Each structure stands twice: as C-alpha cells, then as structure tokens.
Amino acid sequence: MTLDDAALQKFGFVPRPAKDRINIDPLQTGGKLTDEARRALVEWGDGYSVCDTCGGVLDLIKKPPIHALVHDALPEFLGVDQMRITHGARESKFAVMHSIASEGVYVVLDGLAHYSSTVAAQRARLNILKVPHSERPDYWIDLEGYGTAIEEVISQTGKKPALALLTYPDGSYGNLPDAKKIASVCHEYDVPLLLNCAYSVGRMPVNAKSIGADFIAGSGHKSMASSGPIGVLGINDDHGDYSDIVFRKSPTNPNKELEMLGCTARGATVMTMMASFPKVVERTRHWDKEVADARWFSQQLEDLGLTQMGERPHNHDLMFFEAPVFYDISKKIKKGRYFLYKELKAREIHGIKAGLTKFFKLSTYGVGREDLSYIVDSFDEIIQKYQ
Ligand SMILES: *Cc1c(COP(=O)(O)O)cnc(C)c1O
C-alpha cells in the first residue's frame, strides 16, 4: 500500500473538528492552552527549536529563558530547592523511584494511586504496598494508614520503604487528604514523601516546603495549560540530599543527568509551559472561586438526584458522581447507554465519557458559573425529557 492522501484519510489522519463549546473532561480542563501558549506552539514547533544557544544542559539555556523558568520561577512556585522539566508526572515519579530505591525495595502508595505510579514503581523493579482507603461514599485515605503500612514493610522485610507517595488529589474522587500530616508521619520513620500533583500543580496553590513533601510531581498537559507531554519534578532537600541523588550526572558525560537521559523537553512543549506560566500563576490565586463553583455545581446536581462521592464539602474541581436517574433511563430506552453522551453533545457539552450513565467524573475547572448553570439546566432538561 502507498501512503497517499486517500490512505492517510482512511487512517483518520485528518484535522480534528473543534471540541464542543463547553469542556468538562477532567483530563482536559486544566491543559487547555492560553493564547500565548498557542502562539508559542507554532513559533517553536520545529524540532530542537530551543537548542540554538544550548551549552549541553537544557535547563541552563538563557535564550529562550529556560534557565529562569527552571531555576527561579518554578522552584518559587512549587516551593522546592531544585526542579527539572520532565515529559510528564509519570516520568517525574519514575525518575525519583528509579534513583532513590534499588530493586526489590518497597514503596508505599495510597490506595487511590494512579496507574502511572504503579507502573513507574514496576519499571523501577520495586515492590508496592498500598495504604487502604475507606469504601463508598468517601473513599478516604487514612493518615495513620501510612504509619501502619511503613511498619508492615519494616516488619516483613527488615527495611523501611524507600519512598511513600500520596496522590494529591487522587484522580478518581478529587480527594485532598492532609498532606502535611502524612508528610510528618512519613518523616517520623525517615521515609521521604512524593506528592503526585498531576491534578493540583497549576490549578491550586501547592507548596512542597510548607507541606513538608520531599518530592513533587506535576503534569503540564493536565494542569499547567501546556501542550504535552511535559511535566515538572521538584525536590525539597530539607530531609535529605535527594536532589544530588535524583539529578546525579553520568560518569562519562559529566553534563548529563542520568534520570533525565541527558535532556528532556527540547522543543515546543517547554515553550508552551513558559508562555502559559504567568497566567497559570495568576489562576492559582483564584482557587477559592474554583472550589466555590465546584461545591455549587455539586449541590445543583444533587438536587437533580445525583450523588457526589468523595470528600464533602468538596475541595477540588474534579468530582465523581453516581447518577441513578440517568442509569434508570438508560435501562428503559434503546441504545440506552449512549443517550447521555448524545444529549450532551447536542448541547455542545463535551467531557462525560460516551456510554457512561451510572457514574462518571467531571471537572468544573475554569468553566465559570454561567456555563455551569447551563450544564445544570441541560441535565435537568434531559431528565425531564425521558421521565
Ligand atoms: C493524569 C494523571 C497522571 C499522569 O500524568 P502524566 O503527566 O500524563 O504522566 C498521574 N497521576 C494522576 C493522579 C493523574 O490524574
């Protein structure tokens, strides 16, 4: 077969139609580009576009000002001593796990940890013990569970775990446990804590120093209005010389950090993060308003017969709802599973997965009260229509 235009069309390699007017897909609300980032994407789109003045270390490049981003602006924003740009939150977690733990050692993960934390640990050949969470409706991680899990690892293996990880918030229910208390429990055992902030850094204020976290992983394409794949890894050296370990250099290529494979985001991705950064900083200052919107929206949906799972009152824009009203409708009608998706699509609302009715998650981040009201009205209309 030749790769002519017709063949490429057949594969579906054609420009994607614009997303619906309103987007509540949790994966996408915090990663939408600013106008500045959209321009940067085009301007810096050529391969290796940032490398003109590179002396061998990406984060030391002064023109464009990657040095200022990595060594001044982002460390201040994250509350860390050292940071690097990575290709995503998972690459940040892997770099930490791979460097501070050796094969067969345990890491302790919260029971709601994202799959990418699990595969990062597996790729680093580590063992995993999970801190349990409560069941429906709260799915709450018990703080003391970290102490119990650490003690269990010690009693079974004679060695403390190399790392504890907290997903902050978790990617299913949007719960925000008391990270500061968990950090101090971990430090009682001299175990460092990594905060997986894929859903928080870039949306809400998070400061590793004030929490007492040793490592912080963030996701540019999830929460920092960046075109990915791009992430951040921050290290706080208050409880150990962790940055020396994670950012250690090659014995043969003394410029090149091993865990970064020498160089990470060498093109447009880092430039979109830089271009969005001022607005990202600014938007985290209005987090109170986002939380108020999420709580308001949750209450409105509950009035329609849905139930919000997880922490209540909620403290994050990511929310999980059980929707028996929609599930009952789906059982009554033909091709029922897809009715909700189609009805929302017809109203230009994107983001609830096609085929889901019984429960789903969504995000209210940056949507604003007016469009949230429109979504509530749309849900109400859909319920009326089928009942
Ligand atoms: C999306 C997500 C990730 C993955 O982030 P990447 O930057 O794509 O690696 C990790 N953890 C949680 C909780 C997430 O929701």
CATH assignment of the domain containing 314: 3.90.1150.10
Q: Which of 141, 168, 170, 196 has most ligand 1 atoms within 8 Å of CB, for mutation?
A: 196
What's the 182 CA to ligand 1 centre distance in angstroms?
21
Question: Which residue's C-alpha comes closest to atom 15 of ligand 1?
Answer: 171
Domain hosting 91: range is 35-282
Pairwise CA distance, residues 271 & 288, whole Å: 28
Q: Can you tell me which atom of ligand 1 is nearest the CA of 221?
A: 7
For residues 55 and 86, state if they share a domain. yes
Q: Ligand 1 pocket: which residues have CB below 6 Å? A: 88-90, 114, 116, 167, 171, 196, 198-199, 219, 222, 231
Of 230, 263, 282, at which residue does a domain stop?
Answer: 282
13 in any annotated domain: no
- pLDDT at res. 5: 76
Do 231 and 290 reside in the same domain of the chain?
Answer: no
Provide the domain count of the chain.
Answer: 2
* Residue environment code for 221-242, b if the CB has 16+ CB neighbours within 10 A, otherwise e: bbbbbbbbbbbbbbbbeebeeb
If asked whether residues 332 and 246 sit together in one domain, one would say no
Distance 208 CA to ligand 1 centre (A): 18
Q: How far is the CA of 56 from the centre of ligand 1 (A)?
A: 29
Ligand 1 atom closest to residue 169's alpha carbon, by position in its atom list: 13
Q: Which residues of the chain are modeled with pLDDT < 50? A: none
Tell me how far the alpha carbon of residue 333 lies from the centroid of ligand 1, in angstroms. 36
Ligand 1 centroid–CA 330 distance in Å is 31
**CA nearest neighbour of 273 among 29, 33, 13, 16:** 33
Q: Whose CA is nearest to atom 8 of ligand 1?
A: 88
pLDDT tens-digit map of 7-63: 777 777 766 656 678 999 999 999 999 999 999 999 999 999 999 999 999 999 999
**Would you state the pLDDT for residue 362?**
98
C-alpha of residue 41 to centroid of ligand 1, in Å: 22
Residues 297 and 148 in one domain: no
229/344 same-domain check: no
Classify residue 235: in a domain, yes or no.
yes
pLDDT score at 234: 98
Q: How far is the CA of 219 from the centre of ligand 1 (A)?
A: 6
Q: Looking up tokens 């982002």, which residue turns up?
A: 74
- Whether residue 29 is contained in a domain is answered as no
Which ligand 1 atom sits closest to the C-alpha of 220?
7
Residue 87 Cα: closest atom of ligand 1:
7
Residue 21 lies in a domain: no
Q: Are both 61 and 138 inside the same structural domain?
A: yes
Residue 135 burial class via C-beta count within 10 angstroms: exposed 0-12, middle 13-18, buried 19 and up: exposed
